[in-house]
Amino acid sequence: MALVKYKKLTKSRGVTVPKDLAANVGLIGGTAVDLVECDEGILLRKHVPSCVFCGSIESVDTVKGKEVCAKCAGEMRKEINEKYA
């Protein structure tokens, strides 16, 4: 059975994940998380890197603070080379 905890939002709408619950799912301080709207409410999960351009989750790397997949990076590289060649 899933562990259920009750927490109130802070005035700034923040919430602290209880230490035992976070440990059970492998979350430690500083871990990036995704907040996903779903039918039941909001799902909190470990962050899954996805491309800011196409949404792909394959071969994603962070470039200048933005997550970009290899395909989009290659397309950008080609456009830049054509424009500034």
For domain 1-48, the CATH class is mainly beta
Beta carbons of 57 and 50 less than 8 angstroms apart: yes
The CA–CA distances, whole Å, from 45 to 17, 19, 36, 54 equal: 12, 15, 8, 21
Q: 36-77 pLDDT, tens per residue?
A: 999 999 999 999 999 999 999 999 999 999 999 999 999 999
Can you read off the two tokens belonging to residue 35?
């907040």
Mean pLDDT of the chain: 92
Q: What is the pLDDT of residue 1?
A: 59
Report pTM.
0.62
The 8-class DSSP code of residue 13 comes to: S
Reported as type and span, the H/E element at residue 62 is: strand 60-63
> Confidence class of residue 4 from pLDDT cuts 50, 70 and 90?
confident
Domain limits, CATH 2.10.260, in the chain:
1-48
